[in-house]
Amino acid sequence: MPGLVLDGHCHCGLSLPFENVVMEWRRAGILGGAVFSPVEEIYDRYDPFFRDSEDYLHSRDHVHDYLVRLSERDHIFPYFFVWNDFASIPERFVGIKWHRHAGEPVYAYGTSRCEAAIEDICARRLPVVLEEEFANTLNFIGKIAGRTDVVIPHLGLLNGGYIRLKGAGVFEHPNVWVDTALAGQWEIEDFAASYGIERIVFGSDYPFGLPALEKRKIVAAFSGADLAAVLAGNLLRLLGMHR
């Protein structure tokens, strides 16, 4: 059985407290992982014409403060969820969540505040979990231009689809990684066969995926050193913590 196991894609916040997360992690033999806020604490995903408000500004501050406090625990890695206020990213955050789906409020791409946020992320080499529509995914990767790592969650399920991204050459970029949360077994194995295992991070997408079930796919696909890398080593290397 695998040793250290870390979840590279997990939601956690005031509406989804750490006590709930850790209960599922323990059932799966997971010691910790990367955590970012549930979407509903960042913006109203069901209103495509969403306008920011004081309530949401406070909500983002509160959930990010909560994640920072969690980072005092071993093996808990907080990611900052960027939204259109483009707030400054506190030093304690080790990664970025950049997220929206079709029909949801859009990022203010092209604005000076957005450009400044991207430059700051790149300068600090914070890895970005990027969940966006297909065209925006390609544009974002082009804008990053290899200056930091980008993780495509779900092997691209919600970024236009694995096959479409593969056909566009997205995974040829050495700084583009994937996480396995909710991905199909064949996609995980095809990526490994095509590009190797060095840029694959295990993730559960809890609460949308069950950590134990998502881990089972990885255990079925890999063994030995490859299994250890996907379940923990690659995430630590992505975050610069492998030493």
Q: List Cβ neighbours of 75 (8 Å cut-off, separation of 6 or more).
A: 6, 31, 32, 33
Predicted TM-score (pTM) of this structure: 0.96
pLDDT, average across residues 77-101: 97
Q: What is the pLDDT, as a whole number, of residue 158?
A: 97
**pLDDT over threshold 50, residue 31:** yes
Instruction: Return the higher-pLDDT residue of 243 and 128.
Output: 128
Q: Tell how strand 76-81 and strand 95-99 pair up.
A: parallel
Which pair of tokens denotes residue 135?
Answer: 């065209």
| Average pLDDT in the chain | 97
Q: What is the pLDDT, as a whole number, of residue 2?
A: 64
49, with CB counted inside 10 A (0-12, 13-18, 19+), is: exposed
Contact predicate 152/177, CB 8 Å: yes
Q: What is the pLDDT, as a whole number, of residue 161?
A: 98
* Tens digit of each residue's pLDDT (9 = 90 or more) over 158-215: 999 999 999 999 999 999 999 999 999 999 999 999 999 999 999 999 999 999 999 9
**pLDDT over threshold 90, residue 64:** yes
**pLDDT over threshold 60, residue 1:** no
Q: What is the pLDDT, as a whole number, of residue 241?
A: 72
* Tens digit of each residue's pLDDT (9 = 90 or more) over 37-62: 999 999 999 999 999 999 999 999 99
Share of the chain above pLDDT 70, in %: 98
Domains of the chain: 6-238 (3.20.20.140)
pLDDT, average across residues 67-90: 97
Q: What is the pLDDT, as a whole number, of residue 179?
A: 98
The rounded distance, in Å, linking the Cα atoms of 97 and 56 is 17
Strand order across the 95-99 sheet: 6-11, 32-36, 76-81, 95-99, 128-131, 150-152, 176-179, 200-201
Q: What is the pLDDT, as a whole number, of residue 242?
A: 45
**pLDDT over threshold 80, residue 8:** yes
